Structure 1
Amino acid sequence: MATIAEAIMVIKKAENDANRLIQESKDKSSQMIEDARAKALEIIESAKKEAEDEAETMIYESRARAREEAREISSEAKRKTEILKSKAMDKIDEAAELILKTII
């Protein structure tokens, strides 16, 4: 009888060991899943931050280009205005003469 009892004890111990291994595996699996989720969130946050930084850089560069373009347009407008003013001033004498001839 001792051998049957010993065999039952060995089987019971093996079952307990197997149950313990199964539980440890489940715990380890849960921890790995939790770690993977945390890492995924970290990667997502990092990617989001990089995208926001890139967007800010693009906006800054676009504004800088727009300001430069506005300065160039303003400068060109001033140059053309001065040319028109100069041409108009050149014709003042003619206009004055014409007005005087019309009046006299």
Structure 2
Amino acid sequence: MAEISEAISMIKKAESDAVQVVEDAKVKSEDLINEATAKSNQLMEEAKSNASHEAEVTVLNSEEEAKKEAEQIKAQSEKNVESIKAKSSVNVDEAASVIVEKLL
């Protein structure tokens, strides 16, 4: 009988050990899932932050380029205006001469 009692005790201990192993595995599994979720969230936040920063840099660079282009257009327009003024000034002088000749 002692052998049967020992066998039953061993079986009960093995069952208890198996239950504990399963519980430990569940806890470890939950911990791993939680760690993976936290890491995933962290990586997503970093990616969002990096993307936001890159977008800001792109916008700033675009603004700088637009300002440079606007300055170039302004400078060219000023040159064109001066050229037109100079040409029209010559025409005004010629027109004044023609008018004076007609009157005299």
- Using the size of structure 2 for normalisation, the TM-score is 0.94
* CA distance in 2: counterparts of 1:102 and 1:21, whole angstroms: 118
Cα deviations across residues 30-83 of structure 1 (Å, max 9, x unaligned)? 110110011001001101100000000000000000000000000000001001
Gap regions ≥5 residues in structure 1? none
Which residue of structure 2 aligns with residue 41 of structure 1?
41
* Offset of residue 11 of structure 1: 0.5
Task: Supply the AA of the counterpart residue of 1:53.
Answer: H
C-alpha distance in structure 2 between counterparts of 1:98 and 1:72, whole Å: 39
Count of residues in correspondence between the two structures? 104
The answer to whether residue 9 in structure 2 is matched with residue 6 in structure 1 is: no
- Give the Cα–Cα distance (whole angstroms) in 1 for the partners of residues 76 and 14 of structure 2: 91
3-state secondary structure, aligned to 1:91: helix
* Cα distance in 1 for residues equivalent to 2:86 and 2:56: 45
Q: Which moved more, 1:7-16 or 1:89-98?
A: 89-98
Unaligned runs of 5+ in 2: none
Distance in 1 (CA, whole Å) between partners of 2:77 and 2:94 is 26
Separation of aligned partners in 2, 1:9 and 1:85: 112
TM-score calculated relative to the size of structure 1: 0.94
Over the matched positions of the two proteins, sequence identity in percent amounts to: 38
Q: Which runs of 4+ in 1 moved over 2 A?
A: 99-104
Matched, 1:59 2:59: yes
Q: Distance in 2 between matches of 1:91 and 1:82?
A: 14
Q: Which amino acid aligns with 1:48?
A: K
Counterpart CA distance in 1 for 2:41 and 2:93 is: 79
